Amino acid sequence: MSGGVLVEDLVKVYGETEAVRGVSFDVRPGEVMGLLGPNGAGKTTTMRILASVIRPTAGRALVNGADVVRERDRVRRSVGYLPERSGLPPGMTVERYLTLFARLHGLADPEGRAREAARELGVADRLGSRLGSLSKGLKRRVALARALVHDPPVLLLDEPTSGLDPLSRVQVLDLIARQAAEGKAVLVSSHVLPEMERVCTRVCLISRGRVLARGPLDEVRSSAGRPVLRIRLRPRSPGAGDLVPLLEGALREAGLAARLRTLRGAVEVDPIGGDGDVRSAAAVVLRRLLEAGIVPDLFEIHKPTLEEAFVGLVGGGELAGDLGAAR
């Protein structure tokens, strides 16, 4: 593998603490890979190893074909790294700071590249501002511009949308998708799973330093269970009392064995077996509802979300606090 990122059996031990325990994954050029996990899962440590800021205890990691231990200089030239903390010196202006990093990377036109990166991140009008005077969101954008200033083939972004307002989040996610579309390999770590679902093509879930699941987004999502059919009628609407017998009949007709349960006022059809699938069952149910003159308030096939897969794999108790804080 010449481009992208390849991680094999990566181990990192701090004293007696194993922060990363045999993590393996790869990020191909042109894709966004999400590195997901609760606090203390080992995401930041993995990112730091890939940015060649720290060394692994064991295992191998290649970034754009260069070994993170033996070829640190080559790795650092290939990587645009956004750490968890933006880490901007308050006394410098945006322009001087971005120009400095362009010079550190030996670019031919450092001022031009700095202005271009600032424009890309929407901070071109703040080039003369001191970094210490910027809001948290603007600081994050400047830090992202710093990671992009040398146009690296690999991006390592640790919580890129942290501290951004909703509009800026959307813009940054679009930027990440654009970078991947240009052929860059992008590894993003985040707690905000709906955002990850939006930009990632594949994900790697880690907890306590171990990989719990990795693969295409749909594959990981499906580990939380099969799609379910949700139907909700308006309270006291005609036919509300007939819904359950109607559903049982429709499911029999569709050949689907399912458990019916009530969730927040909606009836949920959770398939547990049979020959049919939830999609064809949904068609039968909808036809029968309309024949009976019942118009549902909600009728949807709900696919498991990444968040549900995440909670299911990692364990709800451990995650409750993290996800609550991230929302």
Residues in contact with another protein by the rule CB under 8 A: 14, 48, 51-55, 73, 76-77, 79, 81, 83, 85-89, 91-92, 96, 99-101, 103-106, 110, 143, 146
Minimum distance of another protein from residue 45's CB (angstroms): 8
Minimum distance of another protein from residue 178's CB (angstroms): 22
Q: Are 21 and 11 in contact (CB under 8 A)?
A: yes
Minimum distance of another protein from residue 199's CB (angstroms): 22
Q: How far apart are CA 282 and CA 303, in angstroms?
A: 13
Q: Are 87 and 143 in contact (CB under 8 A)?
A: yes
Nearer to another protein, 87 or 265 (CB): 87
Nearer to another protein, 150 or 169 (CB): 150
Minimum distance of another protein from residue 203's CB (angstroms): 24
Query: DSSP assignment, residue 291?
Result: H
Query: DSSP assignment, residue 172?
Result: H
Nearest to 195 by CA among 226, 212, 217: 217
Query: DSSP assignment, residue 138?
Result: H
CA 306 to chain CA centroid, Å, is 9
Nearer to another protein, 81 or 310 (CB): 81
Q: Are 9 and 61 in contact (CB under 8 A)?
A: no
Minimum distance of another protein from residue 16's CB (angstroms): 15
Nearer to another protein, 156 or 176 (CB): 156
Query: DSSP assignment, residue 126?
Result: G
Minimum distance of another protein from residue 173's CB (angstroms): 22
Nearer to another protein, 132 or 183 (CB): 132
Q: How far apart are CA 62 and CA 252, in angstroms?
A: 54
The encoded tokens of residue 201 equal 């093509």
Q: How many CB atoms lie within 10 A of CB 234?
A: 13
Nearer to another protein, 52 or 179 (CB): 52
Q: How many CB atoms lie within 10 A of CB 201?
A: 16
Minimum distance of another protein from residue 144's CB (angstroms): 11
Nearer to another protein, 68 or 164 (CB): 68
Nearest to 52 by CA among 70, 32, 31, 72: 72
Q: How many residues does the chain have?
A: 327
Nearest to 288 by CA among 317, 324, 251: 251
Q: Are 222 and 191 in contact (CB under 8 A)?
A: no
Nearer to another protein, 152 or 296 (CB): 152
The encoded tokens of residue 310 equal 């995440």
Minimum distance of another protein from residue 207's CB (angstroms): 19
